[in-house]
Structure 1
């Protein structure tokens, strides 16, 4: 809990959870391409699974 949040929100500062983490990006690279997109913090696990599946498929070819 920071003093700034406590001053801004008062006792309600304890009710609001602070978002953890920063911006997360998914990067998929292939032999002749690179693709990057920002991933929502709620979907990081799905983004990693997707990137892994794409990378594995690219490596097979």
Structure 2
């Protein structure tokens, strides 16, 4: 399974943050989670490949 993430930088507080992009949809420019500003610059995109998740067994028998 692959997920598409988009990285932005807030021009108000200079904080960088990532937003998961829904497949096939154009992502509206998000607001900064730190300052709430909507003037954000697109820095780049990243594709993350997720492999299966298995439970971790911590007890030793």
Larger radius of gyration: 1
TM score, norm. by length of structure 1? 0.32
Higher strand share: 2
Which structure exhibits the higher relative contact order, with contacts defined as CA atoms closer than 8 Å and separated by 6 or more residues? 2
Higher helix share: 1
